[in-house]
Structure formats: C-alpha cells, structure tokens
Amino acid sequence: MKHLRAPVQGLALLSLCAVAALTVARISQAQMRTPMEGFRYTTLPAWRIDLDQAGVDELAALPGVGPSLAAAIVADRQAKGPFKTLTELDRVRGVGPAILQQIKPFVLQSP
C-alpha cells in the first residue's frame, strides 16, 4: 500500500493545480471584457459623453436614454449633422425637456 501513496498524492496535486489554473483563466477572461460589452450602467459614467462622437452604447448609458433612443440620436446626427447645442437634441423624436435636464450634466458638444 505504501507504494501507492506517492502516485495518489501526485494525482491529487495535479488535480488541484488543474482546478486552480481553470479558475485563474476564468477570472482573467472576465476581466478582459470591455465595459460596454453586455453592460448596463448601474451608476452614471464619471466622464462626459460627446453627443457628436458617441455611439449607441455610450448614449444608452445616459439617464433616460435607452438603446432605441440612442440609436435614434445617432441616426439623426448622421442625417442632419452635429448638434450645435444641447437643446438641438430635442429635434430627435423621444427627447424632450425632461431628458435634456437629466442628461445635461453628463454630455458635451464638440468644439
């Protein structure tokens, strides 16, 4: 029986190392995801978003703006050009005074 102890211990150690390696790989993979990939902000972004440069995912992170309204903003910007002022954003159907007020602290326009 003594002659089986070393192989059993080796196999147990090998199994433990394999589990540890898989755990590290899974954690590393989770950390590599970008913030926008399948992510919805539970708190507002700490940076300001440029209305004339932002994509759908960035705009959808703003309060009161979801994916469909964000897509409408991008489509309007592509069709009619940049927004000269924040209030010009109300030309997009679905954007009104309440949304403008909510997003005001979090947006900027390009110079």
Question: Model confidence at 108, in pLDDT bands (50, 70, 90)?
Answer: confident
Higher-pLDDT residue of 91, 5: 91
Query: What's the one-letter identity of residue 97?
Result: P
Please determine, for residue 21, whether its predicted confidence score (pLDDT) is greater than 90: no
pTM recorded for the entire structure: 0.58
**Shared domain check, 91 and 53:** yes
Long-range contacts of 81-87 (CB under 8 A, 24+ apart): 82/51, 82/52, 82/109, 82/110, 83/51, 83/52, 83/109, 84/109, 85/109, 86/51
- Residue 21 structural domain: 1-32
Same domain, 68 and 97: yes
pLDDT of residue 38: 47
Kindly state whether residue 37 falls inside one of the protein's structural domains: no
Q: Does residue 65 register a pLDDT over 90?
A: yes
Q: 38 lies in a domain?
A: no
Domain count, the chain: 2
76: number of Cβ within 10 Å? 17
